[in-house]
Structure 1
Amino acid sequence: MAPQYEIRADYDAHTIVVYQAYAPAIADAALQAGRFVAPFSFHRMTWIKPSFPWLMHRSNWARKPGQERVLAVRITRQGWEAALSRATLTTADPAAVAQAAVHVQWDPERSPRGAALNHYSIQVGIGRHLIRTFADDWIVSLTDLTPQVRKAAALIQTGQAAKAQRLFPAERVYPLPRRLEGALSPGR
């Protein structure tokens, strides 16, 4: 896979962190239960993103309605790679995308101030037929990052982007198994 399309993430030997932004009711219930429970919807696709800066852009730093709480969702690498092995690029044939259990799209990565960068960040949509597996089998832990997000946003607003970036989770290139590279490459 070209460096322009590398997956960057916070991971260890057994897990990877993905980020999601939710309304307070969903986040509170999930944090209390230690996993996703109602009012989380198990009947629609849920998008997970290993890029913290990209989710900050998408959620407007936890200020977008319905995305006021940011969760770090630590999942097993085995689950992550199982999802990727079932993925179809959203740029593929529409019939294939409609049938896919998992959707993958690549969007420009973002700087702390939200500017598009010259490399791409992966977004992974877990379809409704896999959501229970995601929620019940892959999730290791949930962490509320909202206070950290708000502090970083305040620093950026006051011109202290470098200081804010120190609050970002450390992300590095994820060692994707070679068997998955071709299926996830936008140029295939």
Structure 2
Amino acid sequence: MRAVYDDTTIRVYQAYSDAIADAALAAGTFTSPPFKMDRMTWIKPSFLWMMYRAGWGFKDAGQKRILAIDITRAGFEWALEHGCLSHPDESVSKDEWAAKKEASPVRIQWDPERDLHLRPLEHRAIQIGLGKEAVQRYVNEWVCRISDVTPLAHKIHALVQEGRLDEAEAERPAERPLR
């Protein structure tokens, strides 16, 4: 897994409507309403996977604002420790997996990482779905800083469309393997 991080925080990305983004930026965390505390919210440490999911912020009005959210490393690690894979693997029965999924406040999903053209790569990027207790912790304890990176996303997208890939890569957030 790759991410922007330091000793105390890790950056995740989410895409939202103007109403949710503006409220979160003003408050320094997510506020309800317009943010819905009772539904699962997915965080992604991969900038390019977020661009794929939100179409560089052009996909639809509900995903037009790309937010970079710096959260505590302790919170991120809590989420991983309390997570359940979104889909069962061969190591457990379907019944065991269903029980674990029901009890878990976090879903873990691995999807193909993306390149600057948003094509799938061989390695995987993690998505973390926060529900139940995890959403409360995320909003009230883990969020350290929120910034709007929509202009950066649009700039990188324009550079890719112009074929200026070296410049686009230089603008991309410097993600490195998480240790």
Scaled by the length of structure 2, the TM-score of the pair is 0.91
Describe the superposition over 1:81-106 as per-residue Cα deviations: whole angstroms up to 9, x where unpaired.
01111000112223432332100000
* RMSD after superposition: 1.0
2:55 to 53, 60, 76: 60
Q: Is the 8 A contact 1:113 1:161 kept in 2?
A: no
Give the C-alpha shift of residue 132 in structure 1.
1.5
Say if 2:122 is the partner of 1:118. yes
Q: Answer whether contact 1:42 1:131 (CA < 8 A) is retained.
A: yes
CA offsets per residue over residues 67-94 of structure 1, 9 Å max, x none? 0000000000000001111000112223
2:92 is aligned to none
| 5+ residue gaps, structure 2 | 89-96
Distance in 1 between residues matched to 2:119 and 2:166, nearest whole Å: 15
1:26 matched residue in structure 2: 20
Query: What is the Cα deviation at residue 169 of structure 1?
Result: 0.8
Residue 41 of structure 1 is matched in structure 2 by 36
Q: Select between 88-97 and 38-47 the one with higher mean Cα deviation.
A: 88-97
The list of structure 1 runs, each at least 4 consecutive aligned residues, that deviate by more than 4 angstroms after superposition, is none
- The 3-state SS of whatever aligns with 2:118 is coil
Looking at secondary structure, tell me which structure has more helix per residue. 2
Match of 2:65 among 64, 69, 74: 69
Work out the number of aligned pairs and report it: 169
Q: Distance in 2 between matches of 1:39 and 1:167?
A: 31
Distance 1:27 1:15 in 2: 20
CA distance in 2, matches of 1:69, 1:128: 24
Aligned-pair identity in percent equals 46
Query: Cα distance, 1:61 vs. partner?
Result: 0.3
The CA deviation string for residues 109-158 of structure 1, in whole angstroms up to 9 with x for no partner, is: 00010111010000000113221111110010000001111111111111
- Cα separation, 2, equivalents of 1:163 and 1:86: 39
* In structure 1, C-alpha distance between the alignment counterparts of 2:22 and 2:81, rounded to whole Å: 31
Give the Cα separation in 2 of the matches to 1:100 and 1:87.
Answer: 6
Which of the residues 79, 95, 99 maps onto 1:83?
79
Q: TM-score, normalised by structure 1?
A: 0.87
